[in-house]
Structure 1
Amino acid sequence: MHSKADAEIPRLSSGKPDFQGYWTNETETPLERPSQFAGRQAMSAEEAAQWRPGSAAGLTDLTDTDNGFLDPDRGPPPKGGPIALEADWYFASGYVARVDGEYRTSLVVDPPDGRIPYAEDGRGRDFVSQALARTGLDAFAGPEVRPTGERCLLSVLSTAGPPMLPMSYNSNYQIVQTADYVMILAEMVNDVRIVRIDDSHGDPALYRWMGDSVARWDGDTLIVETRNLHPQQSFRGSSVELTTTETFRYDDEGQLIYRVTMNDPEVFGRPWTAEVPMRRMPEGSQILEYACHEGNYSLVGALAGARRQEQDSAQ
């Protein structure tokens, strides 16, 4: 597969494409397609120029509110409502994902409606949901059932992958490559993926964070197959049965086009695919330490608050 002129593709001494360097996949294109773009995979250049973070999800006003002065007497946000960071955490670039000349309305490109296709009974099959259902415990019963990102065990949401998808900040990567390995360092929590090239998968009974990833070359495209993801690593409710197929290729603009297909028959009604362009970071950029650690203050505070609520209820 070739999408960028051979002469323009950076190459290793072996002749294989050279993906090394610092990249960002930050984008304001949402994972799933907003209703305003129903039936449209692409938006016009004019629409892309006006698109801003959260505009489809109604988060623009929320961001503006968070950018104002804090009221020390204000109450907590509504339970189950959207979660927003203070505005200075956002690295809004105005970049709408552009793949093969199209300004994409969603990162999901298959199914054609740009939505994740859940199976009829696919919800609740992830590790945490199963643990809570089995024990009858509350989601704040202990650290074991809190999100891995909150526990600083794995990157927030799914920046490290698979799937390697962006969030509103720190969606940056460093790639180091040899003939036998590709290393992908995610800035978020400094997660490191080690992808073996032309190797076989390991023991199927051994699960690991970010899974067991094995790659092969198809022309100038690197194809990565991953299985055996850690049971506690779930994306949008995925189960331990999740396997992924990822591809990396250069496009005509010098972007690295990342494509991932998610296959989990326990959760999704059919495999689904997303495409995310990765752009080179400016010259001189580097990945700094993301000092997240297990037992961080937010986790302790959340669990302590739950214990206090239990005491108040008992009284």
Structure 2
Amino acid sequence: MTISRVAAAALAVPLLFAAPLAGPAWAADPVPSAKDYPPPPADWKVPRTEWGDPDLRGMWPVDYLAATPRERPPEIGTRTEWTEEEYQERFAQAEQRAGLEAAQDRVGILGMGHWREDGLPLWQTSMITQPANGRYPALTEEGRRAAAAVRNSWNTEVFDKISDFGIWDRCLSRGMPGSMLTGAYNMGLRVMQAPELVVIAIEMVHETRKVYLDGRPAPPPEVTEYLGFSRGHWEGDTLVIETTNFTPGFSNGPSPNSAQMIVTERLTPTGPDQIRYEAWVEDPVMLTEPYKIDIPWQRNPDYEFFEYACHEGNVQIRGYVTSTIPRFQKLREEQWAKQGEAPSPESGTCGAP
């Protein structure tokens, strides 16, 4: 349902925050692994834009992070860094995956080697660094209910209505914080700046985030967006972004998000072509506690966005429904046969058009 980069390799409460959100105590958090943050040149200073803000502009594709798991393997416990032996093993696996495209070309196969962009692993053991086990926190009762109700093309076999499809199936969004993280391909992020505005373009699903630096308040809580409403401010050289007003159900985390989700991000330059990206995700309706993502970004001026056409012509959703109708009808007929019943004229065919 997507186009790959083959050619190139709910409870609503008022959210009227007129002042910056308090946010967590960031200064106490060391980087997960110093090995992922090479020291900058001794004379390096954070560059400035023409109007004096720290200059974060450029291409920051997160394909570089694709071999690092979002959640830490349970057996690693609270370790934030791989051992030398573990890292070398993961590095060798990543190199093997990187060579899969050429290997499939040799035998005339168009397979996952042509689709996936896996990158090489970080030394840190997971993108999530808090809770201390590097895994999503436990869900609330409402979070468990919402997660169990999710239907999409990964867990559904018979498609009859639009709610049988997920937001990514429908090419709407990957939500937050997923849109800022890795996928299988099309993982470009581009940061652009103007006075009192930062814009983050996202290659997958071709979305654009606007981060307002002019002190404006958030809109009323009934005004929502898939990626929320973002306001930012500078703390020294760090861009702090507070995002509220999320449309419920559009997170791709451990459960769908509620309207009360808040995402607080920090983008801190750590070298000529590196940013430390931190994001706290809070959702008291769905999560029993917040979690934190903490990863390095690397600038890549040679990276190029490709069109993310998703399902061109908007035919795939209908195609899923019509292609599963015969399967559904067969299952119904088998059920009727077991019960000694005959189909009624009103039974229909799974809402077939």
- The two structures have a TM-score, normalised by structure 1, of 0.77
Structure 1 or 2: more strand by fraction: 1
The alpha-carbon deviation at position 138 of structure 1 amounts to 8.9
> Who is 1:88 aligned against?
114
Aligned partner of 2:130 among 104, 110, 124: 110
Confirm or deny: 8 A CA contact 1:163 1:260 kept in the other structure. no
What does residue range 224-239 of structure 1 map to in structure 2 within 5 Å? 224-236=241-253, 237-239=255-257
The alpha-carbon deviation at position 184 of structure 1 amounts to 0.7
1:204-234 deviations in Å (ceiling 9; x for gaps) = 1111120111111111111111112112312
Amino acid aligned to 1:271: P
Structure 1 or 2: more helix by fraction: 2
Aligned partner of 1:31 among 66, 70, 85: 70
1:289 aligns with 2:307: yes
Confirm or deny: 8 A CA contact 1:257 1:276 kept in the other structure. yes
The alpha-carbon deviation at position 313 of structure 1 amounts to 2.6
> Who is 1:153 aligned against?
172
> Who is 2:278 aligned against?
259
The alpha-carbon deviation at position 38 of structure 1 amounts to 2.1
CA RMSD between the two structures: 3.3
> Who is 1:75 aligned against?
none
d(CA) in 2 for partners of 1:214, 1:139: 41
Confirm or deny: 8 A CA contact 1:125 1:266 kept in the other structure. no
Q: Using a 3 Å threshold, how does the CA distance of structure 1 residues 139 and 106 change in structure 2: closer, same or farther?
A: farther
The alpha-carbon deviation at position 39 of structure 1 amounts to 2.6
d(CA) in 2 for partners of 1:6, 1:202: 43
Q: Using a 3 Å threshold, how does the CA distance of structure 1 residues 6 and 15 change in structure 2: closer, same or farther?
A: farther
Amino acid aligned to 1:196: Y
> Who is 1:78 aligned against?
none
> Who is 1:301 aligned against?
319
The alpha-carbon deviation at position 49 of structure 1 amounts to 3.6
d(CA) in 2 for partners of 1:140, 1:234: 22
Q: Using a 3 Å threshold, how does the CA distance of structure 1 residues 131 and 40 change in structure 2: closer, same or farther?
A: closer
d(CA) in 1 for partners of 2:151, 2:315: 24
Provide the secondary structure at the position in 2 that maps to 1:183: strand
Confirm or deny: 8 A CA contact 1:173 1:186 kept in the other structure. yes
Confirm or deny: 8 A CA contact 1:246 1:260 kept in the other structure. yes
Q: Using a 3 Å threshold, how does the CA distance of structure 1 residues 17 and 40 change in structure 2: closer, same or farther?
A: same
Identity of aligned residues (%): 27
The alpha-carbon deviation at position 53 of structure 1 amounts to 9.5
1:37-68 deviations in Å (ceiling 9; x for gaps) = 2231111355334315988xxxx8xx89x959
The alpha-carbon deviation at position 180 of structure 1 amounts to 1.3
> Who is 2:145 aligned against?
124
Provide the secondary structure at the position in 2 that maps to 1:244: strand
Q: Which runs of 5+ in 2 are unaligned?
A: 1-26, 28-38, 334-353
The alpha-carbon deviation at position 131 of structure 1 amounts to 9.5
1:204 aligns with 2:221: yes
Confirm or deny: 8 A CA contact 1:199 1:215 kept in the other structure. no
Confirm or deny: 8 A CA contact 1:153 1:294 kept in the other structure. no
Q: Which has the larger radius of gyration?
A: 2
Amino acid aligned to 1:42: E
Aligned length in residues: 280
1:237-267 deviations in Å (ceiling 9; x for gaps) = 1322211111111114631111111111122
